[in-house]
Structure 1
Amino acid sequence: MNAEASAPLRMIAESAADFAASHGGPGAARRVHEGGPAWEADAWKAIAGLGWLGIAVPEAAGGLELGAPALCVVAEEAGRALLMPPLTAGMAAAAVLAEGGDAAAPTLQALIEGTAHVALAQAERGADGTRTASLVPEGDAAAQWLVASGQGADFEARGLDPAAHGIALRVRHAVDGSRLADLAIEPAAWADAPCLLSGAVGEAAWARGRQLAWLGDAAYLCGLMDAALRLALDYLRLRRQFGVPIGSFQALQHRATDCHVDVTATRALVHEAARAAGTARAAWAAAAAVQRASAAALRVTQEVVQFHGAIGFADEHDAGLYLRRAMTVGARHAGAALAALQGR
């Protein structure tokens, strides 16, 4: 990327870093871990006010039309600050809704304005016609779900409000304290919900949105593991044994170097995948990015806990916050991304 092209992204990154630092951080992540809400109306409206939720939405639909590279820049800074609201899911959902035409316009407008959150879910249809979807990010916070079912000509993505459509919803907690949800959608509720995308065209739009979600979470994990490694390096410089900083021990230097390589290589892959959006290799590149980022984030955050010794395993220490968040975000797309890499 040349200097002229990267200048706008640098400006976006600086703005995102300032906002994420003031609304995120280990303290905010710990409040969620201890039972506080990850999704708060004021923070969500502030995010919307920056235009982030429309970052991958065409200008004609009310967005910024900055594309996947800008989305990844924002997501990386969010991960660096452990920002807990479902930002990456919201950005991807807005891009999908933008391709839904007039039927999706009111929902898209509410999402971009920050008065609603829309979560994406892929449902499986049972023999009795009931559709089930699981592990919806921040399920209890979402005002609406955009749920996809079927393939090809049978593909449909419908907008559902669990309260309005009488949908059974089971909310549970991930290891980082964020909320997940399982949905059971009866045939009558499915038929009553508005169809926002359908057929092969709708399925293609859904696939593009899913790729943005992969890229966003991959970038988020890049920021997260970079921040976690910096936390560990500060500790290695501070902690002393035998009269010297433990960071001077060669064995720890080698392990820290491996972590640095993991972070740097993963970031390069993620941003290269973002530049591939809209090309023939977009799906494979996005899937590869999130698979690599998920694995690398686990390796790095586990090492960060180890670098801190016994104190790193204490629930009160911030090192564990990065590991738990990496576990939650990395698990979101494992099955679908792996299937895309294997050509399924």
Structure 2
Amino acid sequence: MSNEELREQLCMIGTSAADFAAARGGPQRARRVHEGASAFDPKTWRAIAGLGWFGIAVPEADGGLALGAAAACVVAEEAGRALLSEPLATGMAAASVLAAARSLRPADEALQALLAGEGHVAMACAATADRGEEIFHIGLVPEGDAASLWLAVRGDGADFEARLLRVGSPGLGLSVRAAVDGSRLADARVERAAWFDAPRILQGAEGASIWSRGLRLAWLADAAALCGLADAALKLALEYMRLRHQFGVPIGSFQALQHHAADCHVDATASRALVHEAARAADSPRGNWAAAAAIVRASATALRVTQEVVQFHGAIGFADEHDAGLYLRRAMALGARHTRSALARLQESARL
């Protein structure tokens, strides 16, 4: 496929994704989630699966679209722009990992369920152990136990292993809490016996490499979503600055506000360029480093831009009833998912 054909394909994917995300998401739904409604809609989840988004980075032989990280970022950017609350990035990343382990029946069954939109597979990394009796995992779930499976990993190098943990199994406990935007976070506490009873689908250095590629895709997709929501938030502020008058003129004519808006535009544009360049470099030797840089930069940019957007609206922007705060809260929740692990990757690369 030529570069021109690829651009046309990505443009069509983006248009389709924008229409779908606008119909299923938007500030009104984000507000309902913030006020306590579920962040996970099974109908929307199945509709996303019907569009093939979960298989966007899965080989065609495994039932996917094989479009790669660049297409995943185009879709995720539009989802972020519309504040779509379903954990799209996790779904795409988990599918790519499961596809690589499809020769094992548990992985294949989980992959088919995910591609059909019949389940959600959360990704969880080991955080710590408690008195040598239990393994503590932390991850993100859409709504309580809506994640039917946890793709959980521990160790590194030759000691790396990934297992599929089924929610509700004996020895697996969940501690769920609300994020600032109303989505749900969960910690999983796994007894050692339950861990070793769960099917192992990846192990060793090869398994660690497969997991790393999946994590890279999650970083890139969430980075693109952050770029999308930052752009949408800035457009909301610019429209307000055109309509709001003070001293007989639009406040957008004030030079101080123009400078701040220009800085936000440059920052958002640069972050978006970095994300999409990192997506094109996803399969290169520096792919992990590029993806880590993309999510760190996009997180910082989205947080800065959405904070400025609240300021642009003046006192009304600080009111909980205004939409400006929805973008800020989503930026805070989404950016916090990966920042620590991505920064660790960047520090590791700097030492090499």
Q: What TM-score do the two structures reach when normalised by structure 1?
A: 0.98
Q: Which residue of structure 2 aligns with residue 201 of structure 1?
A: 206
Gap change, CA 1:17 and 1:6, over 3 Å in 2? same
* Equivalent-residue separation in structure 2 for 1:146 and 1:92 (angstroms): 11
Q: Secondary structure at the residue paired with 1:115?
A: coil
Q: Once the 2 structures are TM-superposed, how far is the Cα of residue 255 of structure 1 from its aligned partner?
A: 0.2
Query: Does the aligned pair in 2 maintain the 1:53–1:94 contact within 8 Å?
Result: yes
Query: Does the aligned pair in 2 maintain the 1:138–1:181 contact within 8 Å?
Result: no
Q: Secondary structure at the residue paired with 1:343?
A: helix
Q: Once the 2 structures are TM-superposed, how far is the Cα of residue 139 of structure 1 from its aligned partner?
A: 5.6
* Equivalent-residue separation in structure 2 for 1:82 and 1:249 (angstroms): 30
Q: Secondary structure at the residue paired with 2:140?
A: coil
Q: Count matched residues.
A: 344
Query: Does the aligned pair in 2 maintain the 1:125–1:149 contact within 8 Å?
Result: no
Alignment of 1:142-291 (within 5 A): 142-291=147-296
* Equivalent-residue separation in structure 1 for 2:94 and 2:135 (angstroms): 20
* Equivalent-residue separation in structure 1 for 2:139 and 2:326 (angstroms): 20
* Equivalent-residue separation in structure 2 for 1:57 and 1:5 (angstroms): 18
Query: Does the aligned pair in 1 maintain the 2:171–2:193 contact within 8 Å?
Result: no
Query: Does the aligned pair in 1 maintain the 2:147–2:167 contact within 8 Å?
Result: no
Q: Once the 2 structures are TM-superposed, how far is the Cα of residue 196 of structure 1 from its aligned partner?
A: 1.1
Alignment of 1:113 with 2:116, yes or no, is: yes
Q: Secondary structure at the residue paired with 2:103?
A: helix
**1:279 corresponds to which letter in structure 2?**
S
Query: Does the aligned pair in 2 maintain the 1:155–1:202 contact within 8 Å?
Result: yes
Stretches of 4+ moved more than 6 A in 1? none
Q: Which residue of structure 2 aligns with residue 53 of structure 1?
A: 54
Higher mean Cα deviation, 334-343 or 245-254? 334-343
Q: Which residue of structure 2 aligns with residue 29 of structure 1?
A: 30
**2:140 corresponds to which letter in structure 1?**
V
Query: Does the aligned pair in 1 maintain the 2:89–2:221 contact within 8 Å?
Result: yes
* Equivalent-residue separation in structure 1 for 2:60 and 2:6 (angstroms): 19
* Equivalent-residue separation in structure 1 for 2:197 and 2:241 (angstroms): 58
Q: Please list the CA deviations of residues 1-42 of structure 1 after superposition, one character each: whole Å capped at 9, or x if unmatched.
A: 943220000000000000000000001111110111111111
Q: Which residue of structure 1 aligns with residue 142 of structure 2?
A: 138
Query: Does the aligned pair in 1 maintain the 2:127–2:138 contact within 8 Å?
Result: no
Q: Once the 2 structures are TM-superposed, how far is the Cα of residue 77 of structure 1 from its aligned partner?
A: 0.2
* Equivalent-residue separation in structure 1 for 2:312 and 2:344 (angstroms): 34
* Equivalent-residue separation in structure 2 for 1:67 and 1:86 (angstroms): 18
**Where do 5+ consecutive residues of structure 2 fail to align?**
none
RMSD of the alignment, in Å?
Answer: 1.1
Q: Which residue of structure 1 aligns with residue 7 of structure 2?
A: 6
Query: Does the aligned pair in 2 maintain the 1:56–1:71 contact within 8 Å?
Result: yes
Q: Once the 2 structures are TM-superposed, how far is the Cα of residue 129 of structure 1 from its aligned partner?
A: 4.3
* Equivalent-residue separation in structure 2 for 1:339 and 1:129 (angstroms): 27
Alignment of 1:85 with 2:86, yes or no, is: yes
Q: Secondary structure at the residue paired with 1:164?
A: coil
Q: What TM-score do the two structures reach when normalised by structure 2?
A: 0.96
* Equivalent-residue separation in structure 2 for 1:276 and 1:139 (angstroms): 33
